[in-house]
Amino acid sequence: MPELCPRFDDRALRCWLALSLLASLIAPAAASELRNSAIVKAVHDNESAVVNIHGHKTVRAENASFGTPPAVRQVNGMGTGVVIDARGYILTNYHVVEGVSNIQVSLADGKATVARLVSNDPKTDLAVIKIDTKEPLTVIRFGTSCDLMKGEQVIAIGNAYGYEHTVTRGIISALHRNVQVSDEQKYNDLIQCDASINPGNSGGPLLNIDGLVIGINVATRVGAQGIGFAIPIDETLEIAARLVSTERLEQTSHGIIGKTRCEPGQKQFVVSTVRSESPAGKAGLKSGDIITAVGTHTIESGLDVELALLGSKPGQDVEIEVLRDSQTVTTKLAVTPLSKTTKNSALADKSWTTIGLKMAVMDQDEFKGLSTRYRGGLTVLDVRPGSPAAQQGIRRGDILVGMHIWETISLENIAYILERDDLSKLDSIVFYIIRGADTLYGHMRLATRTTP
């Protein structure tokens, strides 16, 4: 007798067909979700705020003279930077742009432009450069380095060996590393990771899995694999705030002295001191105030404060919002010129017309970080084209520490030197500047007549 076949259930068939169709629809969506991982999202959210830096730098012999041609060689430089302000301010490592006369920057969309060095701090190896842009740039998203954990995933984006916007990933291998990379350069309290950090990655971001910058990549261990280092972002932002301060870049003062308070999930800028008779004092700001907004800018750090006030004109009111005793208080602040007296203005004019330099007194704490035998100096803010200073190659960012036999710690020192009767008997006057890790000198012929 033939074996009887079981009766086929039409309902079962319909269910099977429906499930098959559903599976065919779900599978591609699930695969897409798996591919669009947290790492992919982090890169996508930040890539447009990362720039690639190229340039040629001239390496001079130490303590070279401007008067005699030094032994030089040309080297190709490459590095990375992160956009910290939509107007074109970019943070990078100082060693990436040190000595580079023509800083080439390429954006994520392929556009290339030239940047200028705005400010630098050789001790911490950080610098700010600026490009001119018609369209606002995408700004990098900052996190905090106060809650980092060994073993957590990190992502690096950089111009590795000139391969632009290279992405690597790894984990945090250790925290609080002190690294000596040369006789002149030592880094403290670095993040160590095993994400591939190669030449060209310097100045680029180290991201956490949420896509927030937790460090600026700075160094590798030569000959080692999987050992790279980054400057913690909390420290980086404090230094960046000084580099782009209104006092440093625009010679205007707001009188706010504070500290960024970093906690897991929250960053706040807390006012610690208000300078007497300053715009902040007149605006009624007090120690302990938490600044939450300046104009249209949300404030989380000291860098935010400086960038929000950068570009505001003296006398122009800017609305400030603070949190005081759990209450929101709103006031207005207008920056004032750093040097308001006629005397200082005259001294500045004398320097500009005679030698072609616009200068400002360098902060003493910052100057001490240079570890030099000099007691202080004047930061070069601008150089007049065709002036004696320009002819000798002095450039913006240099620090003038001496002329002839005198130190140049203040503008009064410059006036004293330039007004001496015996100066006219000299064919030229020797000057000394600090540029990066080098102390350079040259001989300058003073202008015989003033130039407006």
Residues classed as catalytic: 95, 125, 202
- Token readout for 283 is 């605006």
Q: Give the whole-angstrom CA distance, residue 64 versus residue 433.
A: 11
CB 60, CB 71: distance < 8 Å: yes
CA distances for 317 relative to 286, 298, 335, 340, angstroms: 18, 17, 8, 18
CB 129, CB 115: distance < 8 Å: yes
Helix axes 342-354, 411-418, angle to 10 degrees: 50
The number of CA neighbours under 13 Å toward the Cβ of 286 is 7
CB 296, CB 309: distance < 8 Å: no
CB 168, CB 228: distance < 8 Å: no
Detail the DSSP E strand segments found in 161-204: 163-180, 186-193
The number of CA neighbours under 13 Å toward the Cβ of 429 is 20
- Token readout for 424 is 């006219």
CA distances for 242 relative to 135, 214, 227, 248, 417, angstroms: 26, 19, 30, 8, 30
**Cα–Cα nearest to 399, from 417, 416, 427, 374:** 374
Helix (H/G/I), strand (E/B), else coil: 21? helix
- Token readout for 225 is 């694999």
CA distances for 284 relative to 151, 278, 280, angstroms: 46, 10, 6
Q: Where are the alpha helices (DSSP H) in 256-393?
A: 279-282, 302-309, 342-354, 364-368, 388-391
